[in-house]
Structures are given as C-alpha cells and as structure tokens.
C-alpha cells in the first residue's frame, strides 16, 4: 500500500511565527486531505487537495502530485493552532502526524 | 461542511461484554464509511471500510468476528466490539465519504468527514 510520511514529527513555535508541514507519499494518489486533530480528538477538515494550491485564511496548502508531496503552510500561528496535523491519502491512509505546539 | 455524529462519545464496560458504536452522516448520504482506532499519541489506523448494503472490508490483522460492522442505510454504520477486553480500550473514530453531488457545492467528491470519536474503556 501507499506509504505516507510526515515531517517534522514535532514542531514548537512562538505565537506569530510561520511554519511549513510536509507530507510525502510513495505513489500517485487520487485523494489527499489535511486534518487538524484538536485536543478533544475531533478531526477538522482543513483541505481536500489532491493537486494544486488552496488557501483558507492563515492556512494554505499545495500538492505537487507529480513529485508526490504536499505542504501545509500556517502563517501568523496562534495558540489555538496547537494540536496534531495529519495528511491522509486515497482510502484515507494516514501519516504519523505533526504535533504542533504554539507558545504564547 | 458535512456533519458526522457518533454515539456514544464515551463508554466504560466490563470485560466480556459487547459495545455498539453508531456513526451517522447527518446531512448527506454516505455510501462508504470508514472505521478507525487511535491509541494515545499515535496516528489513526484504518480498521475497515463499510459500504451500504454489503459486507465490510477489513484491514489485515483486524478480526472481523471481533469487530462487527453493519452499514444498513446510507446514513448509518455501526461498529460492535464483541466480548470486549482491556486491550480493546481505544479511541474509535468513524468517517463518511461525501457523495458525488454534495450540498450546494460545498463538498468535494471523495472528501471525508469525521465523527467526534468514541472513547472505549474496558475494565
């Protein structure tokens, strides 16, 4: 099956900083989504982005399908951005996630 | 976006009993739903894919007789943990896949929406 790798595994930022999270996948995909899991366990859809670029407020994402990676950008980070960010591909195979901590 | 509910949100049961978890898509019909389990500080592990009106497809290593899945309607899938044991304690999460034609253009086909999860503790 497709392997999904996310980096970095952990990220600590000061409030206001920008960050880039990466998701690499081992084969071509038809579907790719980014999620934020909040402290209560709820997965929140951020982007459905099998290819191209999307933006939503302080967040944006780019998937380069031909090179098998996707990037999630968080600008002007806030403490409420803390949590785990997952990417998932095709039949929702999840990467290990990036644990983000934003300090005030 | 679309809303997926799960019930119960948490459950504590004695070893040997069975527990049923419901997953509902509230404002769209989902022909395919997925069940995951998540251990603390780990990623989500896909357990099975549930298709309405047919048998579920289980991932390798998941006991189908232990984790019974029923997808009787386009809005409801259930996961029953039979004869639960302490090692079955986990966070169980379902998701539903958006249909071809979503709500007012808000949904992308194949986009998945997750329920809030069910925390199972087996004593």
DSSP secondary structure string for all residues of B68-93: EEEEEETTEEEEEE-S--GGG-EEEE
Of B43, B113, B116, the CB nearest to A95: B43
Band the pLDDT of B119: cuts 50, 70, 90: very high
Q: What percent of chain A has pLDDT over 70?
A: 100
Chain A neighbors of B57, CB-CB under 8 A: none
Tell me the pLDDT tens digit for each residue of B37-68. 999 989 999 999 998 888 899 999 999 999 99
CB A73 within 8 A of CB A19: yes
Q: Does B51 touch chain A (CB under 8 A)?
A: no
Rounded to whole angstroms, the Cα distance separating A99 from A8 reads 8
Q: Which two tokens stand for residue B43?
A: 């990623």
Chain B neighbors of A91, CB-CB under 8 A: 34, 46, 49
The runs of H, that is alpha helices, within A11-100 are none
CB B14 within 8 A of CB B35: no
Higher pLDDT, A39 or A69: A69
Q: Minimal Cα–Cα distance from A103 to chain B, Å?
A: 20
Quick count: other Cβ atoms within 10 Å of Cβ B40?
A: 6
| Inter-chain CB proximity A48 and B95 less than 8 Å | no
Cα separations in angstroms, A9 against A20, A54, A60, B35: 12, 23, 19, 24
Query: 């949590």: which residue's tokens?
Result: A83
Query: 């019909």: which residue's tokens?
Result: B29
| Inter-chain CB proximity B108 and A48 less than 8 Å | yes
């Amino acid at each position: 099956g497709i392997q999904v790798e996310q980096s970095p595994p952990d990220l600590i930022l000061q409030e206001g900083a920008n960050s880039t999270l990466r998701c690499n996948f081992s084969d071509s995909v038809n579907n790719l989504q980014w999620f934020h899991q909040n402290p209560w366990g709820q997965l929140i859809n951020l982007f459905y982005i099998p290819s191209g670029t999307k933006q939503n407020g302080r967040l944006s994402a780019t998937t380069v399908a031909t090179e098998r990676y996707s990037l999630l950008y968080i600008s002007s980070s806030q403490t409420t951005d803390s949590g785990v960010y997952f990417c998932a591909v095709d039949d929702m195979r999840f990467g290990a996630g990036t644990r983000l901590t934003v300090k005030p | 976006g679309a809303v997926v509910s799960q019930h119960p949100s948490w459950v504590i049961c004695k070893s040997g009993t069975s527990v049923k978890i419901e997953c509902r898509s509230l404002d769209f019909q989902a022909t395919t739903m997925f069940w995951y389990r998540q251990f603390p500080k780990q990623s989500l592990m896909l357990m099975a894919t549930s298709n309405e009106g047919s048998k579920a497809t289980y991932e390798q290593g998941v006991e189908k007789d232990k984790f019974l899945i029923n997808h009787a309607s386009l809005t409801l899938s259930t996961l029953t943990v039979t004869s639960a044991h302490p090692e079955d304690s986990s966070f169980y999460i379902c998701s539903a896949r958006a249909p071809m034609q979503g709500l007012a253009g808000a949904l992308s086909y194949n986009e998945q929406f997750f329920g809030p999860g069910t925390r199972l503790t087996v004593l």
